[in-house]
Structure 1
Amino acid sequence: MNNNNISFILHKPQLSENIGACARAIKNFNFKKMVLINPKPIFPNDKILATSVGAKDIIKQSKNYDNLEKAISKIDIVIATSARFRNKNVKHINLDDLKKIDFKKKIGFLFGSEASGLSNDEISYANYTLQIPTNPNFKSLNLSHSMIIIAQQVASLMKIKNVQFKKSKKIKSASKKEIQSMLNLCIKNLDEINFFRPKEKRPKMLENLRNIFYKMDLSDKETRILSGVFASLGKKR
């Protein structure tokens, strides 16, 4: 297990203090990768660096993206954190279930903004949703607090002996980038036949499509086959 396989992704963080505190939380447990998507404050800034204290190196090497799709393109498994149950066809897990995750793969823990968390559309990019058990009458957790709880849990799991997975070494799981490319080809062909009707339902239909493909443990070969199918269907028209 490699700590470098773990990324902590902040989607539209709003407060400089929280960004700095998150960097500290990551470094507390010897993780190094923090990813930001459209942070509200200028990044980096003096307040972020001051709050990060001894974790300025985490801030300086953090990557900043303008959208979620780019941020997760090289991640194998995305685990979205959410304080509420989503009535979506996405696997819901708790902290104990993290021991079933293959940490040999590239894992990204996705955190929403302080004010609104993650939308269903953003959740649709995830393989799993993770809920931290809290007081049911007061579920709100500070962003950095949520991160430190998960970082500690993952760090403790990574000290356990590697679990032997029976999956053949010849089978390579598709990357998020490969799945996105396949899905974009599918959407392009569907757009050409005016599939998304009425137009106002298009965002929800795209969300459901992503839910279907991202939760499947597709191999790179299976992804190439599906891409070929979608390309062939486009040519037939």
Structure 2
Amino acid sequence: MAGTDRRQEGVAGPAPAVILVKPQMGENIGAAARAMRNFGLRELRLVAPRDGWPNEKAVASASGADDILATAQVFATTAEALGDLHLVLATTARDRDMVKPVITPRTAAAQARTALAGGQKVGLMFGAERMGLENDDVALADSLVQIPADPAFASLNLGQAVLILGYEWRLLEDVRPDAMLRLGDSVPATRGQLIGLFEQLEAELDEADFLKPPEKRPTMVRNLRNLFERAGLTTQEVQTLRGVVRALVGRRQRIGNNIR
């Protein structure tokens, strides 16, 4: 549908980042960038794109959204791409064996606007074309976003999925949140801060031989991460928990030294 008017000012103000995890085809990245540009989403993050970056096929299918591609950031891992974000919403069409809120695109847009209005950084995460997001990626998200497609044919390509969430985001442009999250002197922890806590705790649990047998370790780790994700920890709370882990480890080491 035609309708681009270069004389008009684009949508301004804070908006969610779009994270494409292991996208396979440049054409789909370009289509996603075009959808982002349609609805005022400007920040694109790519995690390990299969065909490398930059990609000429992405430019050809972006239909003028070259500025989105030109400023796209590339990351080696999902954890790195999410590191500075406070709220992460992961899109998926499949049921997951995890305890996480499942929300609609409209609810996701409302949550994103409330978080951004409170000074937080937000990300919308999309998986690869064939299999979607891996469970380890989903475990880093706060909620799962499911588009209410026909369950007999629920698969969408990247451009379509980004378009739907972008539309819901833009639809709420003139809606102001009734209430903002008040956290005193603290703010929600970023994904990087949470991952730091996860890695510290998991390393000490490995040292204590808790995460075994080895074949069950990945599931145990995901369950622990999901538990803390649901808690909605603040920066201060993460720092406190990391201090708790250090204190417990220090006590264990002192006891061990006294025994020897």
The corresponding residue for 1:76 is: 86
- Number of corresponding residues: 236
Which aligned pairs between 1:82-121 and structure 2 lie closer than 5 A? 82-98=92-108, 99-101=110-112, 102-104=114-116, 105-121=120-136
Kept in 1, the 8 Å contact 2:197–2:238? The answer is yes
Q: Distance in 2 between matches of 1:196 and 1:139?
A: 36
Alignment counterpart, residue 171 of structure 1, candidates 186, 200, 204: 186
3-state DSSP class of the match of 2:130? coil
Kept in 2, the 8 Å contact 1:27–1:58? The answer is yes
Q: Distance in 1 between matches of 2:144 and 2:220?
A: 20
Q: Offset at 1:170? A: 2.9
Distance change in 2, residues 1:114/1:155 (3 Å): same
Q: Distance in 1 between matches of 2:140 and 2:176?
A: 30
Instruction: Tell whether 2:204 aligns with 1:157.
Output: no
Q: Offset at 1:78? A: 0.7
The corresponding residue for 2:9 is: none
Letter in 1 for 2:176: K
The corresponding residue for 2:238 is: 223
Q: Distance in 2 between matches of 1:121 and 1:153?
A: 27
Q: Distance in 2 between matches of 1:222 and 1:82?
A: 29
Letter in 2 for 1:103: A
3-state DSSP class of the match of 2:45? strand
Q: Offset at 1:164? A: 2.3
For residues 170-210 of structure 1, what are the alpha-carbon distances to aligned partners after superposition, in whole Å with 9 as ceiling and x for unaligned? 33222222111122111111111111111121111111111
Q: Distance in 2 between matches of 1:220 and 1:144?
A: 34
Q: Distance in 1 between matches of 2:60 and 2:106?
A: 34
Q: Distance in 2 between matches of 1:68 and 1:108?
A: 12
Q: Which runs of 5+ in 2 are unaligned?
A: 1-11, 253-260
Q: Offset at 1:169? A: 4.0
Q: Distance in 2 between matches of 1:28 and 1:166?
A: 29
Letter in 2 for 1:38: A
Q: Distance in 2 between matches of 1:166 and 1:100?
A: 11
TM-score normalised to structure 1 length: 0.94
Once superposed, what is the RMSD of the aligned Cα atoms?
Answer: 1.5
Distance change in 2, residues 1:74/1:224 (3 Å): same
Instruction: Tell whether 2:153 aligns with 1:143.
Output: no
TM-score normalised to structure 2 length: 0.86
Kept in 2, the 8 Å contact 1:5–1:103? The answer is no
Letter in 2 for 1:49: V
3-state DSSP class of the match of 1:129? strand
Q: Offset at 1:168? A: 4.0
The corresponding residue for 1:64 is: 74
For residues 40-86 of structure 1, what are the alpha-carbon distances to aligned partners after superposition, in whole Å with 9 as ceiling and x for unaligned? 11211211111112111111100000101100000111111011222
Instruction: Tell whether 2:28 aligns with 1:13.
Output: no
Kept in 2, the 8 Å contact 1:79–1:129? The answer is yes
Distance change in 2, residues 1:156/1:100 (3 Å): same
Kept in 1, the 8 Å contact 2:20–2:128? The answer is yes
Q: Offset at 1:87? A: 3.1
Q: Offset at 1:112? A: 0.6
Q: Which runs of 5+ in 1 are unaligned?
A: none
3-state DSSP class of the match of 1:215? helix
For residues 125-164 of structure 1, what are the alpha-carbon distances to aligned partners after superposition, in whole Å with 9 as ceiling and x for unaligned? 1100000011121111111001000011012123212432
Distance change in 2, residues 1:140/1:182 (3 Å): same
The corresponding residue for 1:54 is: 64
